[in-house]
Amino acid sequence: MNVFNQLSIWLSFQLSTIFLIGIPITLSFWSIKKRNKAVNKLLSIYWKISLLFFISLLLLIGNYNYALLITNIATLLITISVWFWNDINDELREYDFSYSLTTTTKIWRWAITFISLSFLIQSLQNFNCFSFINSDACVIWLQPSSNLYIIIKKLFNFFFGANFTQPIAKFLGLFSLLIYILGLIQWSIIKLPKHGRNSCFSENGRN
């Protein structure tokens, strides 16, 4: 059962790489090429929100106890962000199935939702890891981030000539988390009451 759980977690992280990075990058360039303002705005919002997921990876590398909790919050916020906007939802509904950009975007949103729910269900099976990631039972959650740690370590050494360590990853993660929270609070206080669920993608005219 532990092997199955480990394989399932590994697979979730691999799917996250595809659907949280690969496909959004493709959709971003695609929407710019097609000059589709609704999809372009959706992806612009997505990248801002998804920063928390990458921050959580830094915290996983740094063995921060609440890293898994932050990862789940990140996937939840990402899911909310791709469904939240009324004007974008209305715009996407106007396109039929033959318009490949919006069809792919719709499929991608459902895939993101599935991955987020799957991630949460798997995490709840190791509930203690939400608050103590460094326990022996939670090692399986730290293993997928080890490859990322190796890549960042090599890049850090190449660009800065210094060693990238787990304490540095934890510090950068916590500092970035603080900035992210401040930005989210600012948006919640200033922009959300003003615009509500309107993304304002059409302020400069329809595509």
Q: How confident is the model at residue 151 (pLDDT cuts 50, 70, 90)?
A: confident
The DSSP string of 156-181 is: HHHHHSS---HHHHHHHHHHHHHHHH
Res. 86: pLDDT tops 90 = yes
Report the residue count for the chain. 207
Range with the poorest average pLDDT among 18-32, 43-57, 121-135, 179-193: 121-135
Q: How confident is the model at residue 206 (pLDDT cuts 50, 70, 90)?
A: very low
Average pLDDT of the residues in 75-89 = 95
**Separation between Cα atoms, residue 36 and residue 101, nearest integer Å:** 9
Tokens 């850090």 correspond to 156
What are the structural domain ranges in the chain? Answer: 2-195
